[in-house]
């Protein structure tokens, strides 16, 4: 008689010694932290009570996740990044190093934040009326946010959009658009981007194995 192999239960968390799981919060109605199985938590990680996290969370060093957040499965948050309270993060989201995700931000499935992304939630800092209406952006499924992008409150970035490095997003960006600049403006569609091989040439003498192409062909492929 065939018998399926016994499955071992996943470990609740593999955590370095100085990780704090279930940091207490001052709000009396906060529930204990709910952390799914299979997490890998590196040194300096702090997970607050009152948050629900799915399976397979991965953190770098010095990560903070505040209370009242809902986080899906297989999420990665790398070193020195902060997720403030009241955020909703979908499955397979990747937040790279040195990112700040402001309160009441919504990141849908498969969103990627490159290093240094900063998200705001207060349109008029110091204004009491603005404080009552704080809200971060909503970033659609599969959107890719480039290095050092700043995203202002209330913005909607559509699914599959690509935001170029260093941009400041002050207005909504359509789904599937490539946008960059300050303020960020849609320039073309992701589907229209040239293949990467037309934009680079090999550089075997460097630890960086490719460099930007030069000449007419390269200019024709600029965003």
Q: What is the pTM of this model?
A: 0.90
Please, what's the b/e burial string for 108-121 (b: 16 or more CB within 10 A of its CB; e: otherwise)? bbbbbbbbbbbbbb
Nearest alpha-carbon partner for 68 in 40, 93, 38, 32: 32
Q: Does residue 219 carry a pLDDT above 90?
A: no
Q: Which CATH architecture has domain 13-192?
A: 3 Solenoid (2.160)
Instruction: In the chain, list all ranges with CATH 2.160.10.10.
Output: 13-192
What are the tens digits of pLDDT across the range 172-202?
999 999 999 999 999 999 999 999 988 999 9
What are the tens digits of pLDDT across the range 26-49?
876 789 999 999 999 999 999 999
């Amino acid at each position: 008689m065939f018998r399926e192999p016994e499955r071992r239960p996943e470990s609740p968390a593999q955590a370095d010694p100085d990780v704090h799981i279930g940091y207490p919060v001052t709000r009396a109605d906060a529930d204990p932290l709910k952390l799914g199985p299979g997490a890998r938590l590196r040194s300096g990680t702090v997970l607050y009570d009152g948050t629900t996290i799915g399976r397979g969370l991965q953190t770098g060093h010095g990560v903070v996740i505040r209370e009242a957040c809902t986080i899906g499965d297989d999420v990665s948050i790398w070193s020195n990044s902060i997720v403030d309270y009241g955020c909703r993060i979908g499955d397979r989201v990747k937040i790279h190093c040195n990112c700040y995700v402001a309160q009441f931000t919504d990141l849908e499935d498969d969103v990627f934040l490159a290093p240094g992304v900063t998200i705001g939630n207060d349109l008029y800092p110091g204004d009491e009326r603005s404080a009552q209406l704080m809200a971060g952006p909503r970033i659609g499924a599969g959107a890719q946010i480039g290095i050092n992008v700043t995203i202002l409150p209330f913005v909607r970035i559509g699914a599959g959009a690509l935001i170029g490095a260093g941009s400041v997003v002050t207005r909504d960006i359509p789904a599937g658009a490539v946008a960059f600049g300050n303020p960020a403006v849609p320039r073309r569609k992701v589907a229209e981007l040239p293949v990467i091989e037309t934009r680079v040439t090999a550089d075997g003498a460097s630890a960086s194995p490719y460099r930007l192409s030069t000449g007419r062909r390269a200019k024709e492929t600029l965003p």
